A = this chain, B = another copy of it.
Amino acid sequence: MLNVNYVNPFIGATLQALEMMAAVRPERGTPFVKTDQTAKGDISGVIGLAGETTGSVAVTFPESLARRIYTNLVGEEATEITDEVRDSIGELANMIAGGAKAELAQQGCSFQIAIPTIVVGEGHTIDHKGQGPCLVVPFTLDGEVFWLEVSLS
């Protein structure tokens, strides 16, 4: 399903979740179709979508940005990726999938949301094995880039 309309609710939910959670307003870049393992990051929240529509969503951050989001969220510094930082990224993934779900349901695209899994590892990549293409959206925050990936079948 190569339809950019389907990625917009995820983009909107990402911006909204980050503003609500962490009071940050990243700048979104232009979505593109993933052709390789472009989005290298240090911590990702990954969440499966299953039902009439099937897919997966991932949001991938460099460690420094993930720690900053955590700090903005709770008002405490994190000098490394702690359990609490992982929880924040899991909650963010949940909010992105949940926000998009509500909007897409109105467009007749329905799914249920699995639990988030958090991947931690320096420079890891994520590959979505659905039938459809994977759209990648880069976001910039204070000169650092994080990535939203959406694959729907």
**A residues at B contact (CB < 8 Å):** 37, 44, 46-51, 54-56, 58, 86-87, 90-91, 94, 111-131, 151, 153
Copies of this protein in the complex:
2
Q: Is the CB of B112 within 8 A of A51?
A: yes
Chain B residues with CB under 8 A of A86: 127, 129
Chain B residues with CB under 8 A of A112: 50-51, 54, 112
Q: Is the CB of B120 within 8 A of A48?
A: no
Chain B residues with CB under 8 A of A118: 126-127, 129
- Determine the distance from Cα of A128 to Cα of B119 in the docked complex, in whole angstroms: 9
Q: Is the CB of B114 within 8 A of A119?
A: no
The minimal Cβ–Cβ distance linking A144 to chain B, given in whole angstroms, is 19
Other-chain contact of A127, B120, B131, B153 (Cβ < 8 Å): B120
Chain B residues with CB under 8 A of A56: 48, 114-117
Instruction: Give the 7 A-B residue pairs with the shortest CB-CB distance, closest first.
Output: A48-B48, A48-B114, A121-B124, A90-B129, A115-B130, A121-B121, A50-B112
